[in-house]
Structure 1
Amino acid sequence: MEKRSNAVFPNLHQTQSKTQKPLDQSASEDPRGMWRLLSTRRFAPFFWTQFFGAFNDNVFKNALMLTIAFQAGQRLSMSSDVAINLAAGLFILPFFLFSATAGQIADRMEKSLLIRRIKVMEIAIMACAGLAFWTGSLMVLLGLLFLMGTQSAFFGPVKYSIMPDQLKPTEIVGGNALVEMGTFISILLGTLCGGLLIQIKNGPAVTGLVLVGIALAGWLASRMIPATAVHAPRLTVRWNLFKETLRTIGYARRERSVFLSILGISWFWLLGAAYLTQLPNFTKTVLSGGESVVTLLLTLFSIGVGAGSLLCERLSDKKVELGLVPLGSIGLSLFGLDLFWACRLPDSDGLLTLSRFLAVPGSMRLMIDFVMIGIFGGLYIVPLFAMVQMRTRPRERARVIAANNIINALFMVLSSLAGALLLGAAGISIPVFFLILAISNAVVAVYIYSLVPEFTMRFLVWIITHTMYRFRHRDLDRIPEDGPAVLVCNHVSYMDALLIIGACRRPVRFVIYEPIYRMFLLHFIFRAARAIPIASHRSNPVGLKTAFQEISAALEAGEVVCIFPEGQLTRDGRVGAFKPGIERIIRTNPVPVVPLALKGLWGSFFSHKNGHALTRLPQRFWSRVELAAGTPVAPARVSASELRETVVGLSGGFRCPHP
């Protein structure tokens, strides 16, 4: 929880690249991928700052919860159950109260300086907490828990809004993956350490010293975070908490896809809170497992989320791949449903130790469910966070993240209420509660993806390009990161546009021959991608004129347009003559032209080799396909014939051979 465009596909890079200057611009691609970020000054200090912060939060919270559980009756005039729920409420309340203010301050201030001040606040809070643990002052500890929640509420907007300022567009997904992995590992380690420390000899005193030490480590790491640009230095911070909370949520609602992504993130936190809150009772009453089994399942879930987050970077090819979000939703529901069936373990006498649980038939299936729920959760949440960061204007980014935190907190409260009503008042069992969560997740997913067809479109493209072909690409960084451009490519099969959509980091507007645009299934994808249908002058002169007008409008808006200048699929594998339409486009809108070449598709089920496409059984599967980009051509040098020769050269030969 810490945690513009006028169309479905905004220009992701146009806003960002004009407002940020990442350090280490000269750094080349590294085979270590995202792990290289942990050795860079622009990311590593921030990573360890947020890691120590989340770790300290959970050491403190779990140590306090155990103290309350065993001592509330003697030191507080309330039961331990009431005190534990009070503590949970005190930690989450600041996210409602102060997130709007935190977002304004984060947009107005230099973020590295703000982080250091927040970490100084953490040191002071933990010093007081250490003293309160030593003296056994539970009421003081509850008050300090509220202050710790306040500190986290102020850190949340900075945590996610600073990454686009420090990372390149190709690193955003990897950075978010590392942060999510680090967050869940720190939650796991903090929970374990908090429970262990408070129970050892002189536990309260040792716990206090550890809390201060971790806070100091986080502050030292924060001192090495590089300075960032201040995006809204003249912003007036308003202190009306209720009014500014509504205004902050309003910022998030400006871009529909961003707001729906925030709702998707919040839904994930609702699911996570629901699963983890019920985990102790689920383990004890349903699985007949002891505390060690609870720890095992928590560990498996956390490892799963970390693994899914890291896997997301690999599967997304270093771009914001929204196609992974529906994949994550499907996995969450499938393994959530299986968890309902897998928890029917044989009865046992007494609570099972870890070794006895592992020997029970069916325990392995149950553990796999927890790991897979975590993995698909990571695949689900990382692209959503990256999308919110990239599609939000820099001067409002922290406030949009603050809105995300507010809605996250609200959904977590709803999770608690749902659990209390269904498990308490309605009297359903925990397995049935998990079943309801899995079914609800499927319903919510269908609803969101019907509102934003981009998610479904990207999912279909991702599935096609990752299951039917072994797809690789090279030199696509030659496509400008911002501003208008035209891509020209040879036309081999009905899959050409889908492969380009899946490979390019920037959204692309395709000019598609109208009969292909209207084809079953492809029509949904092309419509969601805002493709431009075009017809011949003979069949539809008005439609042709309209298409050229729409191409011009797209380029004037700074978008990327891709055309297939041959005008039709190749019938013999050769690159056909390029029609002069490309020259007409550039005369109207003088923009750079980037030649592309697709290789390996001739002879596929979707090409016209040996007859019309789609009319014969597929002859090959998982074919090697390559997309290569050439050097951008200046507008003054654009010639249809010369562009064709360049594409022929990029294709490696005259008949589009397999790479």
Structure 2
Amino acid sequence: MSEVQTVPSGGDGSDGGSDSLDEGSNALPPTLATPTFAGFVTTQFLGAFNDNYFKQLVLLACLNEKAASSTDLQPLAVFAFALPFVLLSGFGGFLSDRFSRQRIIVACKVGEIGVMALSLLVLLIPGLSSRTQLMLLIAVLGFMGAQSALFGPSKYGSLPELFRPEQLLPVNGIVQMTTFLAIIFGMVAAGVTLDYLDRSLWPGSVIAVGIAIAGTLTSLLIRRTRAANPSLSLRPEHLGIPRDIRTLLKNQPPLYSAILIASVFWFIGGITQPAVNTLGREMMGLSETRASVLAASIGVGIASGCIAVGVLGKHAGPTWVMRGAWGMILSLFSISLLASQTYSRPGSAGTDTVHVDHQGAVDDAASGLGVSSSDTTLAEDSDGISTSEIGPSESGARESIVEAIFHAPKIEWALRFCMAMLGFFAGTFVVPLQVYIQQAPSQELKGRVLGTQNLINWIGIVLSAVFLIVYNLTLASLFDAETLSARHHIIFTILAILLLPIAFYYRLPARLDTE
């Protein structure tokens, strides 16, 4: 396969800021210690943080609304966030090829400010019911998805323009690592915000606006690039998969296969976050902070997996994807097994001696004390009689972040470990695929190929929302309301089974030469 092509241009090839233009890989800085690299990594970190922070705020609000209405709106929120990627990723790929990718990045960050300001406006409108407010926030989540759909192809398509071919693997490792660090911090920050602000959402939106402004400023550090195909005209086919991209994928089956397999990663991810939220909040009775820490453990693992691929990838070859698939399967089976043992365990329990039969008494006692059942634990006295005690705080005061992270029962730590291992193997699964997809197409097709990848990825996430709806309806038809939550762990077993064909049969082609 050919080397990645670069777009020749005039200029001195310096990295002094956004006024410089790229002029080919030989003129690119040999080091990553540049304003462009710092600006790029910081911009995508803040963007990923805001996406996951705001999305987790909405998902947790959906679970709180479910307690009042018995309707879980999480799948609708996932669908609203994912649908714009299906509708606009092709157009985002067109913009990425037609205009300077750096300018598209900046424009998208400005758009993010507007979207987050809109969420604040929704929360400040007086007289809205909580359900109406939540539905409007889900609509805003859709606008955030639209902004991200236009942002993605230019973000990833600019990497071969900004960095040398031999830098792409470590750069992708760092980008993926910081992306999932942003996921970690974003999800945890959302839980902390809801816990410490008594589930008030508008201060959280103020924070999101500030993060969007910061990301816009850092995007200005990225070196300006020339348009890859300035004569490209917009045609209806650019809203989907353009004809030349369909031809390319037909002629390069390995590239097509890699794009399809990468979409499985996002399908699994689209299911996993709501599933872990439900596991934490409903099955284990965790607070928003602790449920978010549980979900964020996956991000910790993904960041570690991305580092491992960046450091060791040159010596490991394409087997990373196969190993990652098997690791994800084992992790998902382990999570399902552990989750089946957690039903009605108070999330703040410091002991494993919890009795399901007494959970109602815990809820009643907790209500009388002014704390939630997630802040209480059952223990047996010397006579074997179950008694209620305050969990992390003897006075019933709000649990601190340190307590939420470190004051956990063994089974919660075991679940965090399995979540982290799931993330680690997911990181080793997706980074080699992403590098291959970036390198395989020529420069003038790269943006639309990545737009197509975005489209297929988010079709996977839309399907994950459909899967969640069907799964919830099926579960509700098979089990009564009393035992419904106790069966939620089945979803992790199903995900493991879905990955088996990939682990058995898929092999990523040898990476393009980057030496």
Q: Which runs of structure 2 are paired with 1:636-651 in the superposition (5 Å)?
A: none
Say if 1:143 and 1:250 are closer, same or farther in 2 by CA, change over 3 A: farther
Q: What is aligned with 1:374? A: 423
Residue 455 of structure 2 aligns with an amino acid whose one-letter code is: I
Q: Does 1:102 align with 2:92?
A: yes
Which of 433, 436, 441 is 1:392 aligned to? 441
Q: CA deviation at 1:276?
A: 2.1
Q: Name which of 11, 36, 53 aligns with 2:2.
A: 11
Given residue 57 of structure 1, which amino acid in structure 2 is its aligned partner?
Answer: D
Deviations 1:572-626 (A, max 9, x none): xxxxxxxxxxxxxxxxxxxxxxxxxxxxxxxxxxxxxxxxxxxxxxxxxxxxxxx
Given the alignment of the two structures, is residue 200 of structure 1 paired with residue 189 of structure 2, yes or no?
no
Gaps of 5+ in 1: 1-9, 29-36, 459-480, 482-503, 507-659
Gaps of 5+ in 2: 10-22, 353-406, 480-486
Change in 2 beyond 3 A, CA 1:26/1:186 = closer
Q: TM-score, normalised by structure 2?
A: 0.74
**Equivalent residue for 1:444, pick from 499, 502, 507:** 502
CA drift of 1:254 comes to 4.1
Shift of the 26–265 alpha-carbon distance from structure 1 to 2, 3 Å rule, reads: closer
Match of 1:485 in 2: none
Tell me, in whole angstroms, the C-alpha distance in 2 between the residues paired with 1:370 and 1:72: 25
Alpha-carbon offset, residue 361 of structure 1? 5.2
Answer whether contact 2:280 2:290 (CA < 8 A) is retained.
Answer: yes
Instruction: Determine whether 1:304 maps to 2:301.
Output: yes
Aligned to 1:46: 40
Q: Deviations over 1:134-171 (max 9, x none)?
A: 22563654443222211111001111111111111221
- How far did residue 354 of structure 1 move? 5.9
Instruction: Answer yes or no: is the 8 Å Cα contact 1:284–1:351 preserved in 2.
Output: no
Distance 1:25 1:363 in 2: 47
Residues 164 and 81 of structure 1, relative CA distance in 2, 3 Å threshold: farther
Give the corresponding residue for 1:149. Answer: 145
Q: CA deviation at 1:226?
A: 0.1
Looking at structure 1, the residues matched to 66 and 471 of structure 2 have their Cα atoms a distance apart, in angstroms, of: 27
CA distance, structure 2, for counterparts of residue 287 and residue 206 of structure 1: 27
Aligned residues: 432
Match of residue 176, structure 2, among 173, 177, 180:
180
- State yes or no: 1:56 paired with 2:114: no
Which residues in structure 2 correspond to 1:412-561 (within 5 Å)? Answer: 412-425=461-474, 427=478, 429-449=487-507, 454=509, 505=514
SS in 1 for 2:429: helix
Paired with 1:431 and 1:347, the residues of 2 have a C-alpha distance of 9
Structure 2 match to 1:118: 108
Answer whether contact 1:289 1:352 (CA < 8 A) is retained: yes
8 Å CA contact 1:21–1:166 kept in 2: the answer is: no
In the alignment, is the contact (CA less than 8 A) between 1:251 and 1:396 conserved in 2? Answer: no
How far apart are the structure 2 equivalents of 1:288 and 1:66? 13
2: CA distance between counterparts of 1:73 and 1:240? 44
- Shift in alpha-carbon separation, 1:211–1:347, aligned structure 2, 3 A: closer
Paired residue type of 1:111: R
Contact 1:101–1:244 (CA<8 Å) still a contact in 2? Answer: no
| Aligned residues of 2:88 and 2:239 also touching (Cα < 8 A) | no
What does the per-residue CA deviation read over 1:524-564, in whole Å, with 9 as the maximum and x for residues that have no partner? xxxxxxxxxxxxxxxxxxxxxxxxxxxxxxxxxxxxxxxxx
Secondary structure of 2:226's match? coil
**2:348 aligned partner:** 353
- Does structure 1 conserve the Cα–Cα contact (< 8 Å) formed by 2:7 and 2:228? no
Separation of aligned partners in 2, 1:321 and 1:366 = 31
Q: What code does the residue aligned with 2:437 have? A: V
Q: 1:174 is paired with a residue of what secondary structure?
A: helix
From 207, 214, 224, the equivalent of 2:211 is 214
SS at match of 1:237: coil
Match of 2:235, SS state, is coil
Match of 2:17 in 1: none
Q: Is the 8 A contact 2:191 2:289 kept in 1?
A: no
- Which protein has the bigger helix share? 2
Q: Note if 1:281 corresponds to 2:307.
A: no
The answer on whether the counterparts of 2:63 and 2:72 sit within 8 Å (CA) in structure 1 is no
Which one-letter code corresponds to 2:145 in the other structure? Answer: G
Larger CA deviation: 363-372 vs 149-158: 363-372
TM-score (norm 1): 0.59
Higher RCO (CA 8 Å, separation ≥ 6 residues): 2
- The CA deviation at 1:394 is 0.9
Partners of 1:295 and 1:66 lie apart in 2 by: 9
The 2-side partners of 1:264 and 1:310 are apart by 21
Percent sequence identity over aligned pairs: 27
For residues 48-70 of structure 1, what are the alpha-carbon distances to aligned partners after superposition, in whole Å with 9 as ceiling and x for unaligned?
11111122223333334455555
Aligned equivalent of 2:387: none
Matches within 5 A, 1:580-599: none
Whether the 8 Å contact between 2:263 and 2:457 is mirrored in structure 1 is yes
The verdict on how the C-alpha distance between 1:360 and 1:62 changes in structure 2, with shifts beyond 3 A counting, is: closer
In 1, distance between residues paired with 2:317 and 2:173? 13
Task: State the one-letter code of the partner of 2:115.
Answer: I
User: SS in structure 1 opposite 2:203?
Assistant: helix
Deviates most, 187-196 or 156-165: 187-196
SS at 2:489 equivalent: helix
Contact 2:177 2:304 in 1 (8 A): yes
Checking the alignment, whether the CA contact within 8 Å between 1:123 and 1:212 is kept in structure 2 is yes
Name whichever of 136-145 and 324-333 sits farther off: 136-145
